[in-house]
Chains A and B, each alone.
Chain A
Amino acid sequence: MADRFDCIIVGAGPAGCAAAYKLASDGMSVIVFERGEYPGSKNMSGGILYSTILNKLIPEFWKEAPVERHVTRRRYSMLSKDSEAALDVNINAFSEPPYNNSFTVLRAKFDRWFAKKAEDAGALIVTEAVVDGFITDNEKITGVKVRMEGGEVLAGAVILADGANSLLSEKAGLREKPAAKEMILGVKEIISLPKEVIEDRFSLEGGQGAALEFFGQCLGGFAGQGFIYTNADCLSVGIGCPISVLQENGLKPAGLIEAFKKHPSVRNLLRGGRIEEYGAHMIPEGGFSAMPELTKDGLILCGDAGGLVNPSLYKEGSNLAMASGVFAAETVIEAKKRGDFSKAALDAYVEKLENSFVLKDMKRFKDAPEILRKAPELFKEYPEELLELLRLHFTVSEASKDEVHGELRRSFKGKVPAWRLLKNLWKLRRIIS
């Protein structure tokens, strides 16, 4: 006879671990299947963890968790082909606990720690275990099939937290294969530098960290962006580009990250570095309208598997994942009390998401992906023109300031249609705040 648990969780990332921790802490019997050698071994993020939820689950977690740096400095930078204009924000108050709940992390280390916490709370974590499908009873999901001998395991509910490439949510019939325009491919390198060099170069002290986001011409004028995040003694350097854009323009991801690293404003930040690791991961950035159905009888979708990524400038994913994990756990706890794991009962999960920042923000920024798709000039013409304006403005010459500014106006008007610029700026507010 198959083993039976109150809850089965597939995937030991932020969503799965948060759910497991919460369920186990409440005395529920919970088993987590993770296909990697250890939790985190398949996982990658740009590298910023927003931790409001984690800090509620495990107060002052930063004292023990393998976080790299707390983010005090944020830099938003517009690149033209060879120049840069940036907004640099340094908030020293973020150096005080709870460190603005934003930390750089390396997921292979962080997720491993989080899974251990769930294990210590009483969850059973099984690694190297691939879940291939579900056990059903009249369409209701009652368990999972694990790729191992005697791998049939039953539970009241299954929480699916198998990440961006969620084969299982398709198998459960909750969604079709995601469209290429809804998925971002992130490619990242870990570049090591001595701690002192990082702190000098990025103007940091103590455990402070910097998050540098690059917009405009990061990818040779195609839609997408770049980033550099500081870890303790290495940098996370990477790019993100919609899969549809790569596909339509024949862009090879390995070449794009190389080109980004060679931009004059980027390469100087990487000097003396050594590449330690290369990786790639998808991010579901289709926003609210691309989300799958999140529940069915006996099943709840969490985190990236549920498409829970805020696709605005905030770029939040892990916090939404953890929130969804906690809500899923609470829902399963209530369902067990009532002995009802039907979709109607599990839809309390969706209600919790709706009443929280998770779906409020997903809805607030629902148009962000479409706005970006429809304004390709954001990645080419606008940054080029902005930097050209700045170049003219700062060029030292014997022309009078009146002449210079006259030329500025003429040059800008000629290249950027004003009406479209205003329209785009108006729409951009839906991405920015």
Chain B
Amino acid sequence: MSNPLRGPSPGLEPLEEKTLAEKLFLVRFKVDSASHLILNKDLCLDCTVRACLVICPSEVYKWTEGRPEITVSYEGCLECGACRIACASGAIDWRSPRGGFGVCYKFG
């Protein structure tokens, strides 16, 4: 771990700010070519709740108005499984990523 002491008053400046995207950049992912989160898009269109858009800690689910559909950036999935629990319409087929793929914590 690198030394975080910087500047003239070590340890006194506020904790560094990072956006979610920057935080996810710190996490090691071994990205597979195919998604392990399969959506039943018809069910998603009919869904009025769309809990997935809120619940995901890495915000992999995005509603694209133009299409319209939910896109899944599975590459940043932390594999917590909260979307599967929260999805009321049963539209998420949550599969474990291929062995060795997906999130790989250094600290955990």
B79 on the interface (CB 8 Å rule)? yes
Q: Is the CB of A192 within 8 A of B4?
A: yes
**Of A37, A165, A271, A277, which contacts B100 at CB under 8 A?**
A37
B23 partner residues in chain A, CB cutoff 8 A: 189, 254, 275, 278
Q: Is the CB of B84 within 8 A of A180?
A: no
B12 on the interface (CB 8 Å rule)? yes
Complex CA–CA separation, A409 to B91 (angstroms): 53
B55 partner residues in chain A, CB cutoff 8 A: 185, 243, 246-247, 253
**Of B26, B84, B103, which contacts A165 at CB under 8 A?**
B84
B80 partner residues in chain A, CB cutoff 8 A: 165, 185, 280-282
B2 partner residues in chain A, CB cutoff 8 A: 192, 274
Q: Is the CB of B86 within 8 A of A279?
A: no
Residues of B contacting A: mostly: loop
Q: Is the CB of A279 within 8 A of B99?
A: no
Known contacts A194-B5, A254-B58; A128 and B99 CB within 8 A of each other? yes
**Of B18, B98, B99, B108, which contacts A106 at CB under 8 A?**
B108
| Tally of B interface residues using CB under 8 Å | 49
**Of A45, A177, A274, A281, which contacts B85 at CB under 8 A?**
A177
Q: Which of A6-48 contact B (CB under 8 A)?
A: 35-37, 40-45
B96 on the interface (CB 8 Å rule)? yes
**Of B15, B26, B79, which contacts A267 at CB under 8 A?**
B15
B38 on the interface (CB 8 Å rule)? no
B65 on the interface (CB 8 Å rule)? no
Complex CA–CA separation, A165 to B37 (angstroms): 14
A374 on the interface (CB 8 Å rule)? no
Q: Is the CB of A41 within 8 A of B54?
A: no
A318 → chain B, closest Cβ, in Å?
12
Complex CA–CA separation, A184 to B59 (angstroms): 17
Chain B 43-83 interface mask (CB, 8 Å, partner A; 1/0): 00000010100111111000000000000000000111110
Complex CA–CA separation, A44 to B81 (angstroms): 13
Considering residues A194, A252, A274, which has the most beta carbons from chain B within 10 angstroms of its beta carbon?
A274
**Of B1, B12, B98, B102, which contacts A272 at CB under 8 A?**
B12
A273 on the interface (CB 8 Å rule)? yes
Known contacts A275-B16, A282-B85; A36 and B100 CB within 8 A of each other? yes
B58 partner residues in chain A, CB cutoff 8 A: 254, 278, 280
Known contacts A40-B105, A43-B105, A271-B14; A280 and B82 CB within 8 A of each other? yes
A185 partner residues in chain B, CB cutoff 8 A: 55, 57, 80, 82
Q: Is the CB of B82 within 8 A of A254?
A: no
A183 on the interface (CB 8 Å rule)? yes
Q: Is the CB of A130 within 8 A of B105?
A: no
B49 partner residues in chain A, CB cutoff 8 A: 247
Q: Is the CB of A279 within 8 A of B4?
A: no
| Tally of A interface residues using CB under 8 Å | 63
Chain A 240-276 interface mask (CB, 8 Å, partner B; 1/0): 0001001100111110000001000001001111111
Nearest residue in A to B15 (C-beta to C-beta)?
Answer: A270
**Of B13, B51, B99, which contacts A130 at CB under 8 A?**
B99
Q: Is the CB of A273 within 8 A of B86?
A: no
B14 → chain A, closest Cβ, in Å?
6
A329 on the interface (CB 8 Å rule)? no
B54 partner residues in chain A, CB cutoff 8 A: 246-247, 250-252
Q: Is the CB of A42 within 8 A of B4?
A: no
Q: Is the CB of A275 within 8 A of B26?
A: yes
Q: Which of A154-185 contact B (CB under 8 A)?
A: 164-165, 167, 177-180, 183, 185
Chain A 178-218 interface mask (CB, 8 Å, partner B; 1/0): 11100101010111111001000000000000000000000
Known contacts A35-B99, A107-B105, A279-B105; A272 and B57 CB within 8 A of each other? no
Q: Is the CB of A234 within 8 A of B102?
A: no
**Of A44, A197, A243, which contacts B82 at CB under 8 A?**
A243
B14 partner residues in chain A, CB cutoff 8 A: 267, 270-271
A43 → chain B, closest Cβ, in Å?
5
Q: Is the CB of A280 within 8 A of B57?
A: yes
B20 on the interface (CB 8 Å rule)? yes
Q: Is the CB of B78 within 8 A of A279?
A: yes
Known contacts A108-B105, A130-B96; A177 and B84 CB within 8 A of each other? yes
Known contacts A129-B99, A165-B80, A271-B12; A40 and B85 CB within 8 A of each other? no
A384 on the interface (CB 8 Å rule)? no
A284 → chain B, closest Cβ, in Å?
10
Known contacts A180-B85, A278-B27; A190 and B107 CB within 8 A of each other? yes
B26 partner residues in chain A, CB cutoff 8 A: 275-278
Q: Is the CB of A271 within 8 A of B15?
A: yes
A198 → chain B, closest Cβ, in Å?
10
B11 on the interface (CB 8 Å rule)? yes
A274 partner residues in chain B, CB cutoff 8 A: 2, 4, 16
13 contacts between A and B (CB under 8 A): A42-B102, A42-B105, A44-B108, A109-B107, A127-B99, A187-B57, A192-B1, A192-B2, A194-B5, A246-B54, A272-B11, A274-B2, A279-B108
